[in-house]
Amino acid sequence: MPSPVLHVMGARPNFMKAAPVVSALAGRGVEQRVVHTGQHYDERMSTVFFRELGLPEPDVNLGVGSGGHAEQTAALLVALEKEFLTSEPALVVVYGDVNSTLAAALAAAKLHIPVAHVEAGLRSFDMSMPEEVNRRLVDQLSALCLVTSPEAIGHLANEGIPVERAHFVGNPMIDTLLAHLDRFDPGAVRRRYGLPARYAAATLHRPANVDDPRQAAELVARLHEVADLVDVVVPVHPRSRPTLDAAGLRGHRGVHVLDPLSYVEFIGLVRGAVAAITDSGGVQEETTVLGIPCLTLRPNTERPITITHGTNRLVTPDDLVPAIRKTLTDPPPADPAAPPLWDGQAGPRIADVLLGALGDH
């Protein structure tokens, strides 16, 4: 193949989704190029994931960094267009719904390079979410929409995307989870960070939850009430730290605030928790497979399958403490059934679709 498959990754969820795809294509001798946009640039938010997941070192790191949505997306567009013109890929593969995903899809489409979107068709139907805007636009630009759950195919059809562009392949993030399951050691995490044996794990980073000081203060107050019942361990995302610190997150002896964790440590933390409190899409999926009760502090989710087939529940801040209390007394089934095709083989299925498209191209 004269031109490579080019993978664009920019934020930590992208790395877990991409690793099985890169591995499956490498096993079939496909030439590939990995571009890290640098949207997440902290060592604990990006570089460590390449080592832990066995991903090849990026061929290029664009070093775009943070900024407002317009500033960041504009910088990504400029840098990615230059990269695509230089490397001339036959296919650009994008992951998830971050700004890097949108910028890569738009730059590639303008250059008439086919785009494959891994995790296509997810919808929260909440256009106040930047991720929802990104998802919808990327799917319209993509020649291949690689779908992780069945309802996503209907969402794509409702938006006029031809059914032949949609492929139900399963969830590559779950491939990564299952491949590393033996490495997720809750005891090692507790010992390293001096954590109690019984705790809830919490992650908060959505703008709707942490950007407004009043909303952040309300959530912190609820976390303190949870900590009256069970200790709470909070690895704090860099974008959340200023408002959560200002809201007094550390002001309860039962709240343990950590810096961002590596993938292996974070999943080890979640695996040992009595519950997860989150606004993260990925955590909703991971807890579904691990069988950990998940309380999602959002009014909606683009992953409803984690509710119908998993352990996830949407809660408001006012619901949080009663929900934790119920979780502590009524644990979930020990072995929940996984959603369809969340079986650790999404990477090879995606590779099949990509190779078929490259052959046609």
pLDDT at 348: 98
Statement: residue 225 has pLDDT above 90? yes
Q: Side by side, which strands form the sheet with 91-95?
A: 60-61, 32-36, 5-9, 91-95, 115-120, 144-147, 166-168
Q: What is the pLDDT of residues 280-301, one digit of tens each?
A: 999 999 999 999 999 999 999 9
Q: What is the pLDDT of residues 331-347, one digit of tens each?
A: 666 666 789 999 999 99
pLDDT band at residue 66, thresholds of 50, 70 and 90?
confident
pLDDT at 46: 58
Statement: residue 64 has pLDDT above 90? no
pLDDT at 38: 85
Homologous superfamily of domain range 181-329: Glycogen Phosphorylase B; (3.40.50.2000)
Least confident of 49-63, 154-168, 217-231: 49-63
Among 211, 259, 203, smallest CA distance to 232 is for 203
pLDDT band at residue 1, thresholds of 50, 70 and 90?
very low
Choice between 332 and 141, residue whose per-residue pLDDT is larger: 141
pLDDT band at residue 97, thresholds of 50, 70 and 90?
very high
Q: Which residues of the chain does CATH 3.40.50.2000 include? A: 5-171+342-360, 181-329
Q: What is the pLDDT of residues 305-335, one digit of tens each?
A: 999 998 999 999 999 999 999 999 986 666 6
Percent of the chain with pLDDT over 90: 84
pTM of the full structure: 0.94
Q: How many CA atoms lie within 13 A of 249 on its CB side?
A: 23
Average pLDDT score, the chain? 93
Its CATH architecture, for the domain 5-171+342-360, is 3-Layer(aba) Sandwich (3.40)
Q: Is 256 left (phi over 0), alpha (psi -120 to 50) or beta?
A: beta
Least confident of 59-73, 224-238, 272-286: 59-73
Among 336, 328, 297, 302, smallest CA distance to 314 is for 297
Q: What is the pLDDT of residues 6-55, one digit of tens each?
A: 999 988 889 999 999 999 999 999 999 999 998 655 555 556 777 888 88
Interval 200-212 mean pLDDT: 93
Active-site residue numbers? 205
Among 174, 179, 166, smallest CA distance to 353 is for 166
pLDDT at 45: 52
